[in-house]
């Protein structure tokens, strides 16, 4: 995962990584030329994905800094905010088994919201209360989504 400072056309350097108790992960990247900082904030499921893949964001780990510094660097925007919103609405009532959540966590980040939505729709249409890996298998076969 890399960020590019568009103005300077320079690759931003990894600066901080934090794993608070709630499973949220924050990583900051700083442009070596202009000093601009961008931060990445992921939700617990995305953090689980990153952890399960053994990915070291930025390749280096920098010494922990005081919380004030970290808070100052963490952006408030969440890249997947819209998917979470969709879930709370139409998807409420359907739960994911632990195994199903683990499986979903292995789906690449950029399509996970869509994949999740497909399974939720499938479950809701059939009155399925809990999504399990078996349900996911059945859904994939019925919907012709073998590679999800």
Write out the residues near Zn ion by the rule CB under 5 A.
Answer: 5, 8, 31, 33-34, 36
Question: Is the CB of 37 or the CB of 139 nearer to Zn ion?
Answer: 37
For residue 120, what are the β-bridge partners? none
Question: Using CA atoms, how far apart are residues 93 and 128, in angstroms rounded to an integer?
Answer: 9
Question: Is the CB of 8 or the CB of 145 nearer to Zn ion?
Answer: 8
Min dist. Cβ of residue 9 to Zn ion (A): 8
Q: What is the 3-state secondary structure (H, E, C) of the chain?
A: CCCEECCCCEECEEEEEECCCCCCEEEEEECCCCCCEEEEEECHHHHHHHHHHCCCCCCCCCCCCCHHHHHHHCCCCCCCHHHHHHHHHHCCCCEECHHHHHHHHCCCHHHHHHHHHHHHHHHHHCCCCEECHHHHHHHHHHHCCCCC
Question: Is the CB of 36 or the CB of 117 nearer to Zn ion?
Answer: 36
Min dist. Cβ of residue 10 to Zn ion (A): 6
Min dist. Cβ of residue 140 to Zn ion (A): 44
Question: Is the CB of 25 or the CB of 27 nearer to Zn ion?
Answer: 27
Question: Is the CB of 29 or the CB of 119 nearer to Zn ion?
Answer: 29
Tokens at residue 57, please? 């964001």
Min dist. Cβ of residue 91 to Zn ion (A): 40
Min dist. Cβ of residue 13 to Zn ion (A): 11
């Amino acid at each position: 995962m890399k960020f590019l400072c568009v103005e300077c056309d320079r690759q931003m350097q990894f600066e901080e990584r934090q794993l608070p108790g709630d499973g949220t992960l924050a990583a900051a990247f700083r442009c070596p030329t202009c000093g601009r900082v961008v931060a990445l904030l992921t939700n617990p499921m995305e953090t689980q994905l990153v952890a399960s893949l053994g990915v070291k964001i930025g390749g280096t780990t920098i010494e922990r800094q005081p919380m004030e510094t970290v808070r100052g660097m963490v952006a408030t925007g969440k890249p997947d905010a819209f998917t979470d919103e969709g879930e709370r609405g139409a998807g409420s009532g359907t739960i994911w088994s632990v195994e199903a959540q683990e499986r979903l966590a292995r789906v690449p980040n950029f399509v996970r919201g869509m994949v999740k939505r497909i399974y939720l729709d499938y479950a809701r249409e059939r009155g399925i209360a809990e999504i399990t890996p078996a349900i996911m298998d059945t859904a994939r076969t019925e919907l012709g989504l073998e590679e999800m």
